[in-house]
Chains A and B, each alone.
Chain A
């Protein structure tokens, strides 16, 4: 299909909206009526047609607007994009991966022509045409990682692999769930995850690291993660927390359905060929609760998940104070009927909400 790119904002007047298409393909993260941490990895080798899992790097109606928001964040704070000196080769690897994937997966939107090291890149949605020499930084307006990730939705962490660990040595991070690349750069896998409660004791990170260290070229993996965000604010950074934190207090029972968003991260993992680095794209999808409950199964399930979530996790995810109000809203969309297994909306088979 041809994508109609939205004109919308993720700040100030928050004109962000999901179309019906975007709602139905939303990556709902709960495959059952409860949630606990797990190393929920699967192969990232496509998925159902039209789903966010189908392509290597999903492009949707928010693409152009998200890239404008990223440019605003970077203009305000260039430290959101950093690459330690030894990571430039991995940046070229990433540029190649994204350009090749997008031009193959979306030939009507992106073109890549290669004649030896002379490359010609065309990005139609953003109106960019660039001729450059692959591996020659002086032929691009930014370093290779920054250049390509200004044209790709989601955050990108580029992880060096050494000493049986992964090191956060480069990244483009402007749509993060409250963590700072500037602070975490140079940390290893356990250090940058240090603030996450419970998961260390459960052995989650030891198992996840073992899995990630063994990811091979051409065998990418993926998982979903989630949190809650008030307003469709992409840049929930610690850097700006003193500005956006107060928005959490603006929820009322009347505006909650429109303002409270479920924030889902599609995390993918690709081995990079020359550097042996691992790139970890973290793609953020937002959906308001009032849109989410138009899928009856998701309304029922989200109520049960949020209701039964351990206090520690609700606190870490930053919505403990608003949980009672969120539950009052979601309870109206849970009639107690059983739900089908898996994350899909199952609109044809799941019953509509019973009248109370």
Chain B
């Protein structure tokens, strides 16, 4: 089971939904890892979507686990990419070509949804046409407030900034523009006193 119920939090923290089929001439679906399961569920709810769908899928550590089943959904366009970064030019082109009424479905990790959401918003897609569903890892994309570097897939609190090496604690404060949560130095007031990292939500 790839669903996780996030506890209630502060108002800047995104709240993810559940994908539902919507009427529309075109459907853009962006997923990573276990997000594939949400797309399979979506297609099951309304198989007619897929003939008008463009699927961008980044399997990451799930490898081949879902690709065959996703392909069999018969999307009009089906792309499997090696990384989110590699898929970005394709995503941007698709968004810039989009007509009114495009429906966007984002599913998988928070980092994937946040970044793809940012692309969609910047391309002028209205919020009301974007749906999300979290699946899979609860790791976070974190911005270090000190050096501004992004560390992807952070699964413990605290963690070490991949750029400046400071020990950062994981806040729930979230920026849509950075598509990241905020990491802040944990031992600023007591240098060297860094608690043992704990897995998020454990």
Contacts and interface: CB of A to CB of B under 8 A. Distances in A.
A92 B87 CA distance: 40
Contact of B177 (A186, A190, A241): A186
B191 interface: yes
Contact of B188 (A185, A186, A242): A242
Contact of B145 (A180, A193, A243): A180
Contact of B146 (A184, A191, A193, A241): A241
B185 A242 contact: yes
Interface centre among A185, A239, A242 (most CB of B within 10 A): A242
A195 interface: yes
Interface in A185-210: 185-187, 190-195, 200
A179 B185 CA distance: 14
Nearest to B167: A242
Interface stretch (B15-23, B73-81, B98-106, B168-176): B168-176
Contacts of B173: 183, 194-195
A246 interface: yes
Contacts of B143: 183
Contact of B11 (A200, A238, A244): A200
For chain B, which range describes its interface: under 10, 10 to 19, 20 to 34, or 35 or more residues? 20 to 34
A218 interface: no
Contacts of B176: 186-187
Contacts of A243: 188
Contacts of B12: 187, 190-192, 194-195
A245 B145 contact: no
B11 A245 contact: no
Given A194-B10, A195-B10, A245 B188 contact: yes
Contacts of B131: none
A187 B148 contact: no
A241 B188 contact: yes
A244 B189 CA distance: 8
A61 B175 CA distance: 37
A183 B182 CA distance: 8
Nearest to A79: B148
A143 B61 CA distance: 46
A190 B15 CA distance: 14
With most chain A CB atoms within 10 A of its CB, the pick from B10, B182, B190 is B10
Given A238-B145, A242-B146, A246-B191, A195 B185 contact: no
Interface string A121-140: 00000000000000000000
A182 interface: yes
B195 to A, nearest CB: 16
B88 to A, nearest CB: 20
A248 interface: yes
Given A195-B171, A242-B146, A183 B189 contact: no
Interface string B186-202: 00111100000000000
A238 B184 contact: yes
Nearest to B190: A249
Interface of B: 10-13, 143, 145-146, 148, 166, 171-173, 175-178, 182, 184-185, 188-191
Interface of A: 79, 180, 182-187, 190-195, 200, 238-246, 248-249, 321
16 contacts: A183-B143, A185-B177, A186-B175, A190-B11, A192-B12, A194-B11, A195-B171, A238-B145, A239-B145, A242-B185, A243-B188, A244-B188, A245-B185, A245-B189, A246-B188, A249-B190
Given A194-B10, A194-B13, A248-B189, 18 more contacts: A79-B148, A183-B173, A183-B182, A185-B177, A186-B177, A187-B12, A190-B11, A194-B12, A194-B172, A195-B10, A200-B11, A238-B145, A239-B146, A242-B146, A243-B188, A245-B185, A245-B188, A245-B189
